[in-house]
Amino acid sequence: MKKRNKIIYWVATLWLSLGMVSTGIVQLLHMKKETDFIIDMGYPMYFLTILGVWKLLGVIAVLVPKFPLIKEWAYAGFFFSMSGAVFSHLALGHTFGETFPPFLLLVLTILSWYFRPEGRRFDEGLAIAKQPG
């Protein structure tokens, strides 16, 4: 892997992790601004807890070495969560400033996934070859 790609991967992954941890904690704490926002969006309150827990677990999965299949699931979860947040903001006519944070996390998710090192990738062909039978 080229040095440039490693730098892109780690910068994107660390910023993604910081963003997911900070928003996950805010969601788990049910801070007033976040609860008002989730209610305005039409989602139930328990959705904050689900998002917060899964974001924290996803960060652990992405940062811990090995377990490439779990990393794929974490990246998929980040992608669905952040693309859903972006579309929710757009559907409600929110400003660019309100839509930008989840959009940035979406871009960081894609960059981190795309530039991840070989040891952090899930090789589907290898997984199929290792199956018994």
Residue 126 lies in a domain: no
Residue 68 lies in a domain: yes
Structure tokens at 12: 């994107």
What is the C-alpha radius of gyration for the chain, rounded to an integer number of angstroms? 16
Residue 83 lies in a domain: yes
What is residue 114's predicted lDDT score, i.e. its pLDDT? 94
What is residue 26's predicted lDDT score, i.e. its pLDDT? 95
Residue 130 lies in a domain: no
Structural domain span for residue 17: 3-117
Residue 102 lies in a domain: yes
Q: Which residues of 33-72 are buried (b: 16+ CB within 10 A; e: fewer)?
A: ebeebbeeeeeeeeebeebbebbbbbbebbeeeeebebbb
Provide the number of structural domains found in the chain: 1
CA pair distance 95, 111, nearest whole angstrom: 24
Residue 15 lies in a domain: yes
Question: Which amino acid is present at 128?
Answer: I
> DSSP assignment of 35-63, as one string?
HHHHHHHT--THHHHHHHHHHHHHHHHHH
What is residue 16's predicted lDDT score, i.e. its pLDDT? 98
Give the mean pLDDT per block of 10 residues along the chain (133 residues): 90 98 96 89 92 97 92 96 94 92 97 88 59 53
Residue 123 lies in a domain: no
Residue 8 lies in a domain: yes
Of the CA atoms within 13 Å of residue 106, those in its CB half-sphere come to 14
Cβ-Cβ contacts under 8 Å for 95 (sequence gap 6 or more): none
What is residue 130's predicted lDDT score, i.e. its pLDDT? 54
